[in-house]
Amino acid sequence: MPTSIALIAHDNQKADLVALVQKYRGTVIRYHVIATANTGKQLQAVTGIAIELVRSKQDGGDLEIVARILAGEVACVICLFDPNQTHASVPDLLTLLRVCKIHNVPLATNLATADAVLQAFSKSRVAHLIFNPVAGQGNPDWDLALIRQILEPQVHLKVIFTKPDINPGDQAKASIAAIQKRNASVPGTDFMIASGGDGTISAVANALIDTDIPLGIIPRGTANAFSVALGIPTGLKQACETILTGNTCIVDAARCNGFPMILLAGIGFEAETVERADRDMKNLLGPLAYLVAGAQQLLEQKPFTVEVEIDGAIEQFQCGAMTIANAAPPTSVLAQGLGEVIPHDGLLDVTIGIAKNENLNIADWLLAIDAIGKLFTSALVKTQIENEGLVCFRTAQIKVTANPPQKVVVDGEIIGMTPVEITCIPGGLTLFAPMSSSLSLVRTKSSVPILTQPEG
């Protein structure tokens, strides 16, 4: 649903409109407000609410509002007219009525209906949806239509489409500023939703770290690893229903060389695998792209030396792969050395795959494949495995240098080369999660119901 409210009032109705907006000020300021010039100026002067002014009614301002309705920007119209001047206003009112009827936009023409409309809006929440139209393999138009169908009218959606030349995190920051301003008056009313792959979700999550603004996740990527790791449904319908429950939980976040990290960082094998699984391969094979790319990389991966620094202590290892995880699904097998990556313990899970020889032979790769199988089993049974080819530990902060320098992947995106410094941010994110999720049992915030108490 659009997130603009349009206001029109005849001269002898302006005082009533001002009183109505004052009564529902906490609701009105959560929306973008459009008003005809004279009405808007009076509202601004009395209420202090920011209002976009169109032309006066005499100069066609009501027709400008009609155009905004046709563009799908208006959630409701309040038009308080003078019944003694109806003869002069009939054509304009009929146009407004017809357009609102066609586009199913609520139109209030007296105080009783206006009060009812704003009371209904006071029960709804506003969500800023960062939507990546090129994520995954589905039809983005159908996906967005289904999201709207499920979430509205309980949630008024402000949809922001990602663009190739703009970081989704920057788009999220603009929305966060608006949310914080509105939540200052009515705490906990507005929130963010990210819909796309792990890259989009990671960028939006980074902007939300330490803000306490809840994040809803509607996964539409190839792997959807973050959703799987946290028990958030990967189906569109179920993910939307999870948001509507209002149940929230707190999880850790992390930063790697300043980049956001909600999942994991991979050095060596995993980074090379992700780079191989390019967009064309993912479009063709879906999740299998990572399996094919991994098999190809396994035959070419060269061992390297890593220098690990924790709390001033330094150790060296010769390895083929290293993973530092904040959260990880069972399918991220190279993160599963400790049996389970706990996303709310304030620690990073480190798994290092040791390489015994500088030049790997077939026997070494067979051992590596065996270790990967055991890691997958470890994830399924949530029990640490004993394997001489693995070094596993937990830490809140780590610095890694590699020789020769290695590519680094963070949450599915190549960010550069080693060295890297990764720091956990305990309790950095608030997420909507299912009541059945294990996260709901640990460090859970109070539920934030989508339907709030009405004003007035």
DSSP code per residue over 294-323: HHHHHTT---EEEEEEETTEEEEEEEEEEE
Residues 56-60: contacts with CB under 8 Å, at least 24 apart: 57/8, 57/10, 57/92
- The whole-angstrom separation of Cα 376 and Cα 78 is 59
- The whole-angstrom separation of Cα 285 and Cα 335 is 23
* Average pLDDT rounded to a whole number, residues 165-183: 85
Specify the pLDDT at position 387: 58
407-410/264-268 β-pairing: antiparallel
* Average pLDDT rounded to a whole number, residues 325-340: 78
Strand positions, DSSP E, 170-294:
191-196, 215-219, 248-256, 259-261, 264-268
- The whole-angstrom separation of Cα 155 and Cα 244 is 8
CATH architecture of 261-426: Sandwich (2.60)
pLDDT at 429 over 90: yes
The whole-chain average pLDDT of the chain stands at: 80
The angle, 0 to 180 degrees and rounded to 10, between the axes of the packed helices 168-183 and 198-208 is 40
What is the helix (H) or strand (E) element at residue 34, kind and residue range? strand 32-36
What are 120-132's pLDDT values in tens digits? 888 778 899 999 9
- Radius of gyration of the CA atoms of the chain, in A: 27
* Average pLDDT rounded to a whole number, residues 426-449: 65
Tell me the two tokens of residue 428: 């950095």
- The whole-angstrom separation of Cα 34 and Cα 39 is 10
Residues 212-216: contacts with CB under 8 Å, at least 24 apart: 212/430, 213/176, 213/179, 213/180, 213/183, 213/430, 214/248, 214/430, 214/431, 214/432, 214/448, 215/191, 215/429, 215/430, 215/431, 215/432, 216/127, 216/191, 216/192, 216/242, 216/243, 216/431, 216/432
Q: Strand, coil or helix: what is 235?
A: coil
- The whole-angstrom separation of Cα 125 and Cα 147 is 15
Q: What is the pTM of this model?
A: 0.70
- The whole-angstrom separation of Cα 226 and Cα 233 is 10
Say if 4-122 and 125-247+433-441 have the same CATH topology: yes
Tell me the two tokens of residue 111: 């105080």
What are 341-373's pLDDT values in tens digits? 888 999 999 988 777 655 554 444 444 444 444
What are 232-275's pLDDT values in tens digits? 999 999 999 999 988 888 999 999 998 888 888 988 776 656 55
Number of helical H runs and strand E runs in the chain: 15, 20
Pick the closest to residue 262 from 331, 215, 192 (CA basis): 215
Handedness of CA 231, 210, 393, 265 (dihedral sign): positive
What's at 158, amino acid-wise?
A: K
Where does 125-247+433-441 sit in CATH, by number? 3.40.50.10330
- The whole-angstrom separation of Cα 137 and Cα 73 is 29
Would you say 315 and 300 are in contact if contact means Cβ atoms under 8 Å apart?
A: no
- The whole-angstrom separation of Cα 60 and Cα 47 is 25
pLDDT at 279 over 70: no
- The whole-angstrom separation of Cα 302 and Cα 268 is 9
What is the domain partition of the chain in residue ranges?
A: 4-122, 125-247+433-441, 261-426
- Within 10 angstroms of residue 376's Cβ, the number of other Cβ atoms is 15
Pick the closest to residue 324 from 335, 338, 315 (CA basis): 335
304-310/264-268 β-pairing: unpaired
- The whole-angstrom separation of Cα 54 and Cα 383 is 64
Does residue 62 have an active-site annotation? yes
* Average pLDDT rounded to a whole number, residues 20-35: 90
| Percentage, residues of the chain above pLDDT 70 | 76
From the number of C-beta atoms within 10 Å of its C-beta (0-12, 13-18, 19+), residue 365 rates as middle
Pick the closest to residue 379 from 435, 422, 323, 296 (CA basis): 323
Catalytic residue among 16, 59, 62, 190: 62
pLDDT at 382 over 80: no
From the number of C-beta atoms within 10 Å of its C-beta (0-12, 13-18, 19+), residue 323 rates as buried
What are 59-71's pLDDT values in tens digits? 888 899 999 999 8
> What's the CATH superfamily of 4-122?
Methylglyoxal synthase-like domain (3.40.50.1380)
Pick the closest to residue 47 from 3, 75, 14 (CA basis): 14
